[in-house]
Each structure stands twice: as C-alpha cells, then as structure tokens.
Structure 1
Amino acid sequence: MHVHVDDSDVSRYVTDLGLPGLVDVHVHFLPESVLRKVWAYFDAAETHYGMPWPVQYRTPEPDRVATLEKLGVRAFAPLVYPHKPGMGRWLTEWVTRFAAETPAAVPTATLYPEPDVADYLGAAVEAGARAVKVHVQVGAFDPRDELLRPAWGLLADAGVPAIVHCGDGPIRGEHTGLDIFAEVLTEHPRLPIVLAHAGMPDFTGALDLMHRFERVHIDTTMVGTPFSLRIAPLPPDWPARLVDVADRVVLGTDFPNIPYPYVQQIQAIAGWAAADDRLGRDFLRSVLHDAPARLLRI
C-alpha cells in the first residue's frame, strides 16, 4: 500500500487498511502559556540542536483538534510534562479537563519527583487516566529518584502505561540513557512502559528492553522520518528486528510539534511493513490502531 505525499491522503489510506481510524499515543496539547514557550524553544532549535525545527502545525487549539480529525485520528493521548517542581499537579488537572472536553482525547497525567506526586497521580488514575507522560530529558530528573518509587509502583499495580522519554535523543540529558531507566524496570518489572521515540538513538537498546520486559512497548514518534534519519539512523535490519515484538509497537507522532507533515510518519511505518514479508498489512493495522487501542484501553 502506497501513502502519497500529502496529509489529505492519510484518512483514505487508513480506511483502505480496513481500520476505523488511527490511535496516536504521542500527541502534545498544553496550556497556551506553556505551549508558547515550547514553540519558542523549537524556534531556537539551531542553538540547541544545530538545525532548524519549523513547527508544522502552529495553529490555534481548536484547529489542531480538527486537523487530527481530518487525518483520521479517532483517539489520541494528549501528553503534558513539567520541567520544574509544582507543575505536575497543575498540568495533570489541566489535561484531565482538556480530555473531558475533547471527544477523541483519552485522559492522561504526568509526574515529577516531588512529595505529592503519588497524591495527584493516584487521583488521576482513580479518575480514569489511561497514560502518563514522563519526560526525563526536559524534566532533568533521575527516574530512580526515591520520591518516584510510589508512583512507579502505583502505575505498575494499576496497569497504566507510562510514555517515557528517557533516550539520549535529540540531545543527551543529565539522566537520560536506557541503561538508567532499565534500573527502574528491574525494580518494577510489571510497569507498562512505552519508550518514546523507540529510545532514539539507542534503537538496539530499546529492543533489548522489550525482550527483557514483557510490558515494554516502543512508539514510532519521529522514528524513520527523513528528518530523524539524518541524526538517528535506524539499524539496516530494523524491519526484521520488529517481527518478534510487532504487537508492542504503537503509533506516536509528536503532533503538532513535528518539523514535517504528519503523513511522513505513516510513510515510514508503511516502509517497514513493506520491507519484510513477515510484517505487511497485519503489522500496519496493529501499529496504527490495534496495539495503541489496546494499550490505551479504547
């Protein structure tokens, strides 16, 4: 199946696969004041990353929700993340309201190592949060922090997946690296985890964690797109390596903050499916809908 070069083709492509729509586990909606700062950061990407990062979908919030609908996204996880203490509760309460008012959005939460993390996270899980965003790089915290132990235990017991950015891409953080997060998983082996960006750039390390821990998933966010291949090339045998873990690969995109059209992520995944006969259309249906729908309990 061929995906053309335009976003307007995505919905038809998904329908042709026999799917009711896409389920995207890695989408960002944030309070306006926070989002403006995030976009300003990407505007200065040449300073941070040494290359421009033109945010593709810089539109008002209702337009962004409408864009996802036009793309055929039937459900998405709106992810929020704090960069300092005191933001975790506020952002979790904000995104809970956003999800309640946005039919396609599933309720989510976030966390930060602080004394009340188990309180606000527990309240969010009790209220129906189906995913929790953890941004080790932006938050600049150690995921092994003693303050987070009750939070990890709570999520493991509740079976709520944490979508964790703990890889070293696009730049290394003080506490990034899959080896560090592996220590959290060793202590909480039942913790459902989605390694954001498939652990970029340590794709091999991400697959190793999937083989070691049965509840570890990877999302496709930015993986294999022309933009990312310049800075984080995939192993040449990437499609073959996905065969054994195909049911734990889930669609993620980073909408709206990506520096290219949404369709490019779908094209990348379609390319992997076409490259190995053991993947094919079943893999596409799983990644684009079935596996993320199962993970988010849709």
Structure 2
Amino acid sequence: MELLAQVNGVIADGPMAGRPSLTTARDACEMILALSGTTNGRVAVEGFRALEKRTGQRLADLAEDHEGNRITFADTQARPVPVITSPEWSGSEHGGRRYTAFAINVERLKPWHTLTGRQHFFIDHDWMTELGEQLPTFRPPLNMQRISQDGPQPDGAAVEVRYLTPHSKWSIHSNYQDNQYMLSLSRGGPDVWMSVEDAESIGVKDNDWIEAYNRNGVVVARAVVSHRMPRGTVYMYHAKDRLVDVPLSEKSGRRGGIHNSLTRLVLKPTHLIGGYAQPVFRLQLLRPHRKPA
C-alpha cells in the first residue's frame, strides 16, 4: 500500500482519504502489477515461503533472485518483459527457462489442487456418478443451430460449419500482436482457417476477407485455406487483437468482432459442483453502482 501510494498518489478526502488512488486506468494497472507475484518479486518470495510451510517443500529459491525486482506499467510500454516465477502459476521461469505448466508440481513435489493431491481422472462426486461422468467421457457437441432455430439466414454464398477457437499458435493471449514481428508471422490481423472444400463451395480463395456469423454475433477475418482443415470445421485461434487490421462488417455495419463474438456459455450440471477440490463453482454478479440517497 505504501508503494502504491508513492506511485499513484493518494485520495485527498472522503472515506478513502489517504489510500492509494485508483482513479485512472493506469493507476489500476500499477495496482495489479504491484500486487501480483509475477510482477513483484517480493510478493512472489513471500507467497512461496507461505507455500513452503503448507507443503514442506523448498520453493522460495525459485523467486529469490528476483526478490528486489518489480515490473511497472512503464516497463510494459517499453518492451516485452519476462515475468517472475510465482506461486500464482504452476510453471517455472527460474534460471531463464521457458514456462512449462506444472513444473513446480513435478519437480518440487507441490501437491496438485485435487482431492488426492495427485493427478487423477476419476471423480466420485454424486452428480458425476448420476450422469456417468466419473471418468473422462466423450459427449458429441450440441447442434446449436437446431436447438435455437432462430439464427440469421444466409444472404449470399455461405457454408455452415463447426466453429472452434483453439489456443493461439503465436502468442499467449493478445500480448504485443501489433509489432512487426508478430504481424509478419501471420496474416497481419485476425484469420479463420478453413478447408479447401468449404472455401471452394462459396468461392473463397486464400487470404480473402470473409465474415463468420451466427445468432450471437459476427467476426470479420482473412481466410486461411488449408488442406489440413477437415470439411465442415473452421478454426479461429483465440485472442487476436481486434484493433489490428479489422474492417467494418458488411452484415452488421460495425467493427468485425473477435473470436468470442460467435460463442456463448452453455452450462452443464457438473459445472455447478462447488467446494469439492478442483470442481469449484463461483457465481459472479455485476450490478451498476448506485450512490446512497
């Protein structure tokens, strides 16, 4: 709190007088960077020391060489900055290595966050038993078009496909997509991978602009026509920055969306299991802030 007060300044009056200011977006970013162990070495070391007491394993040395380091908002503006190994994540960047998930669990014997503390595939919760899903089970995808029956109708050359959003091939989330190196690795903006057969059926050639749409929204992207894609399925790798080279949609007249513009949340009863080791349900409600009368 003292550090944030120095960086952001403090609130002058009112019930929050003397507390660090969060009045601007930059102030909020500085707060996140100051409180996370991945960007504040002191927080990472303290977190690992607390974890050592719970697990009986040696862990703090993973971050001790960065205990005095802190990444600020100005640092992120200047260049990509490697983060600090932290108990917030299961990977380790200690010694300059690249991130590998669960490295701390495997190499330092930190228990997994499961009932057994080990990796396991069987969950004996009553709901899982009732639905026959104690073990990983294949369930065919729902036909959302048939269920809703109120989606937009094609108004030109169109093909109906299954839309998938796998993890990005070029980055984690949308960091620094707009620099020359990242733009050179792809099509310079959002793209959708589709099969040769689906592309030919609507007269689309590689690198043409296309619009993908359903009852949830619309996304505009370049077509990557590839023989590696099966007919009837398209990929839009997740988290491309929608601000880079995205035209207006002819269908909606608005800026052409992101990978999640076409998706929606579909809940299963098993998603609502709470307080049972790794299956944890949390309901988050958002409401407008209303000043007291």
| TM-score (normalizing by structure 2) | 0.26
Answer 1 or 2: higher relative contact order, Cα 8 Å, separation at least 6: 1
TM-score (structure 1 length as normaliser): 0.26
Higher share in helix: 1
